[in-house]
Every structure is written in C-alpha cells, then in structure tokens.
Amino acid sequence: MNNLIVLQNIQNMNSNEIKALIKEFMNSYSVKDHEELYLKVAQTLSEDKRKNVNSMGKSLQKQVESYKSEVLRVESLYNFDKSYGYKLVAGVDEVGRGPLAGPIVSAAVILDLNTVDFILHINDSKKLTPSLREELSQIIKEKALAYSIAVLDNEEIDKRGIGFCNNEVFKLAIDRLKVKPELVLSDGYAIKGFALKNEFVIKGDTKSASIACASILAKVYRDNMMKEYSNAYSEYGFEHNVGYGSKDHVDAIKKYGITKIHRKSFLTKILSNE
C-alpha cells in the first residue's frame, strides 16, 4: 500500500481511519530510514481542515525532530571518544558495586568511531527502561568491533574487598577483548596496575559512547543473572531489587538468613541488629 497516495485523499476518510492508517505507516517505516517520507505525510496531514488530523501531522513532525535531536546527542558521544585521537578506543564500566548480594560485573566495548550508523539511545544504563536496555544490548553486540564481560562473585568481594574487585573486574574485561585497544576510557576511576593507556571519565556513561555501551551490557548481564538467582532464592526479591538493600530484601535477610550469593562483608550491621 502506498500510504502517501492514500493520505492524499484524507478528506474522504474519518479521523479513526486516518489514525489507523498512520499507525500502519509508522509500523512500516522508520524515521531513521524514511525521514523525507515522514515529512511529506506530516505536510499532507497539516493541510487538512480538521484540527485532530492536523495534530497527527504535528506528532509525525515531532518524531522527526526528536530523531534528529537524538542523532546529534549520540553523535556527540561518539565525537567525545574520537577526540582523544585514537582509532581503537575501549570503554569500560561496572555494575554491582553497592548491592548486598550477587557479583560485580564489568563490560568493555570497542565501537567503530568512524561510522555514521550510530547506536541511538545509548546512555547511562540506569536512565533506560529494562526493555530498551535489552534491545540495545543485542544491537551493541552486533555492531561493536569487540566486546567482553567479566564477573567477580560475592566470595571474591568478601575476600579481596569491593575496591580491589572494582579495579580487577575492569582489567579482566579489557584483557578479554579480542581486539587490543589503543586507549581505555574507564567510568569514574583510573585503573590501577594497568599497562595500557587509560583515561578516566567522571559520569562517563553520559559522555562517552563506548562507556555508555559498556554500562548497558554490564547492567543487562547482571540483571539477568540476578533474575536467575531469584528462581533459587525466591524470598529475597532478586528479580526486582537485583541484590540491592531494598526493604523487602533486608526484611528477607532478617527472616530467612543469608544465601550463598550474599556479601557477608556488606551485612555486618544488618546481621548484628537481628
């Protein structure tokens, strides 16, 4: 169906028919690949005398503007990484520094910084919905030049301390990359005892494309791990608190005790108050 030709006869259609047609149009065409077509349809709708039909045109126009704005935002993230002057830049980030249970997880990502096919919507993983994180995780894996994920469990955290494990899990993720980076951008912390060139970036997951992608991979991986743990330890709500010290989690610890995945070194105050 040629939606544009049909829409040129909108004066013979009621608003519900037009709304259904616009929905079909949006499902068939993305703004990314059909920006000009979106603008033509928006123009057609805006020329109709009915206000509710005009609003549909304005909605399509806003989608185009929103898409352009997102492209510019993400392009700035890529440009941040490019500004260091290296071709192979790895971003590394961690998830799980503060929870009472479960591992700390790090991801490292090397992107093609010269592409114009940006991965849109990348950001600090905490600012994204779970469904968008899952979707982006797959896209990042498909488009990245290289990526890796590293995990250190609760026993290692209790044994070595979270500061050590935070640094170590960064190093493990970088070491596991199939492509050796020329520069490593780490979120928040300079990596200690590290042979490669490293720059740390405060709030890097909102500034750097590669760190943002690493943040998403690590978050999705760890959240899915905690959902799996919730099947074995259903009383603790790991499927939604992912090991953090929510009230339901703390109450479960006091009622049922600790599990094999709890960080004992994080629980001294809670256990002493039992």
Residue ranges for the binding site? 93-94, 187
Beta-carbon contacts of residue 211 (< 8 Å; ≥ 6 apart):
91, 92, 93, 185, 186, 187, 201, 204, 205
- The annotated binding site for a divalent metal cation is made up of 93-94, 187
Is 90 in contact with 174 (CB distance < 8 Å)?
A: yes
User: One-letter amino acid identity for 113?
Assistant: L
Using CA of residue 121, residue 126, residue 131, residue 133, what is the dihedral sign?
A: positive
Q: Are 251 and 235 in contact, with CB atoms under 8 Å apart?
A: no
User: Would you state the structure tokens that stand for residue 159, as one six-digit string?
Assistant: 């044994």
Helices assigned H by DSSP within 47-178: 51-82, 130-143, 154-160, 162-175
